[in-house]
Amino acid sequence: MSDGFYEADFKSYCLQPGTPSPSGNDAYRQGPLTGYRKDIIETVLRNSLKRPDLEQRNIQLLLWSVVSGSDFRKLSWEVQTTAQQLLSRKQIFELKGGVMGVVKTVSEALPPTGVTSANLKLKQLFELGTSSYELFERVAVLQQSHGASKTGINKDQWYKQSNGYYLRYFPSSYQHVKIQVYVPEGMAEKNSQEQMLFDPVTMMAIPAHSNSQRLGIGAPAIDVIRKIIQIQKTPENPKKPPVKPTNPKTVVMK
């Protein structure tokens, strides 16, 4: 194991309906996975790592149904089947349970923001049995300019992890994000393990200065299942995270 730069493209998912898709000008930072039914969302994302064969669209529809508090029984057969392969029986039972009435009451009591309005519209589409993914996407992913505000965070910002390596996010849309990893010189020697655990599922990619999508991270967009970074040699690494690493390598996973 040695130091170096790495990158891989990951499937990502909209977790905040009613906001614009990321643009090339958006800076994204790291934030904890939070929100309604966080445990179910994390389970969907984590188990999607083991099922790269599942359609990304069906996983996204499942997540939209969860965050909007939609009735599981109104989902299409394809989405329900996807849920059965990603969630436990107990979690599916919860999605079918009476909590939906509570969620509906709470949602209707909230101020009519873009996000709550989008959730209500998504619920209506699920109730109607809409089969067009594009209609759901039109509601959840707005095609409009981003509301930006100034901040000290830029697109090249690195975020340090607990075991010493750094990562950063470069989304190209709400469905895809490039994650870059930097392992500082000498970090491999401090880590006695042969492999370094890379677990992006517990974190979200969050816009730093706009109202763009909050993204959940799923499986790599290549035929890899697990999330273990194999460290390979990169000569002459700088001691501090550079602004723009040159010749990044693809993350090797198994």
The pLDDT tens digits of the residues spanning 4-41 come to 788 888 999 999 998 888 887 788 988 888 878 889 99
Which two structure tokens, joined as six digits, stand for 159? 């975020």
User: pLDDT tier at 140 (50, 70, 90 boundaries)?
Assistant: very high
Q: How far apart are CA 30 and CA 158, in angstroms?
A: 9
The pLDDT, as a whole number, for residue 90 is: 92
Mean pLDDT, residues 164-178:
90
Mean pLDDT, residues 116-133:
88
> Looking up tokens 């895809």, which residue turns up?
176
User: pLDDT tier at 186 (50, 70, 90 boundaries)?
Assistant: confident
Q: How far apart are CA 107 and CA 103, in angstroms?
A: 6
Q: How many other CB atoms sit within 10 Å of the CB of residue 135?
A: 14
Mean pLDDT, residues 232-244:
48
Given a cut of 60, whether residue 100 has pLDDT beyond it is: no
Reduced to 3 states (helix: H, G, I; strand: E, B; else coil), residue 165 is coil
Spans of all domains in the chain: 4-33+149-250, 38-142
The residue among 18, 22, 11 whose CA lies nearest residue 54 is: 11
The residue among 53, 123, 124 whose CA lies nearest residue 82 is: 53
Reduced to 3 states (helix: H, G, I; strand: E, B; else coil), residue 23 is coil
Give yes or no for a contact between 40 and 66, defined as CB atoms under 8 angstroms apart.
Answer: yes
Q: How far apart are CA 227 and CA 78, in angstroms?
A: 27
The pLDDT, as a whole number, for residue 44 is: 96
**Which of 81-114 are b and which e, b meaning 16 or more Cβ less than 10 Å from the residue's Cβ?**
ebbeebbeeebbebbeeeebeebeeebeeeeeeb
Which two structure tokens, joined as six digits, stand for 137? 């996407």
Which two structure tokens, joined as six digits, stand for 145? 């300019």
- Strongest mean pLDDT among 15-24, 76-85, 110-119, 128-137: 76-85
2-11 pLDDT, tens digit per residue, is 577 888 889 9
